[in-house]
Structure 1
Amino acid sequence: MRQNVEFAVAQAAKVLSDPIRLKILMLLKEGRQEVYQAPVCSAFAHAICPEDLKLGLGDISSSKLSYHLKELKDEGFIQECREGKRIYYLLKPDRLKRLIELLLGFY
């Protein structure tokens, strides 16, 4: 069991070790801003589409952003919401809470 906890913590730490991913999480935590161009997501008004994330991140290619979003999504830190052709992303705070609990129990 402990080995599974160690693996889970190490995997999460690996995903969170990239400054771009941390910035994405911070932008998603802040939520949608008035300067964003995409229409508001009807299911989650605070969700953000990739094009608007690019505004907050600065000089990043679409493929690089897509890669980082996939890493965060695969590890369960964010979720996506699809509306037609548009994809929006939002933070999953429960995942961060579980990681903190794991770390507290681990140490």
Structure 2
Amino acid sequence: MQSISPTIISGFHALSDPLRITILELLREQELCVCELGEALGVTGSKLSFHLKTLKDAGLVRSRQEGRWIYYGLNLAQFVALEQYLSEYRRFSQILPARPCT
């Protein structure tokens, strides 16, 4: 059995929270600063910081500082890595026959 990369595990963990999914949806359109994310989501700074750190640690978002603001955007390379991991399961679907539910 092949071991699973820690970045794959942390990526799926980060995707397991509805608020983090909403953050990613907001970032899908454009890069946003923390203040814009907080306003759009209606969450406190500490709660938002926790979720952004989780997404950043998982490699799903990147950040950059401009003046006193930190801007967040998607790191598409990590989404590609997760997609490639999942694509391996599609490969098996052609081999295994469908099982009837019992």
- Correspondence 1:1-107 to 2 at 5 A: 2-5=2-5, 7-31=6-30, 47-58=31-42, 60-106=43-89
Code of the aligned partner of 2:29: E
Code of the aligned partner of 2:2: R
Identity of aligned residues (%): 38
In structure 2, how many angstroms separate the alpha carbons of the residues matched to 1:87 and 1:8?
23
Gaps of 5+ in 1: 32-46
TM-score (norm 2): 0.78
Higher-Rg structure is 2
Q: Is the 8 A contact 1:9 1:103 kept in 2?
A: no
Gaps of 5+ in 2: 91-102
TM-score (norm 1): 0.75
Code of the aligned partner of 1:17: S
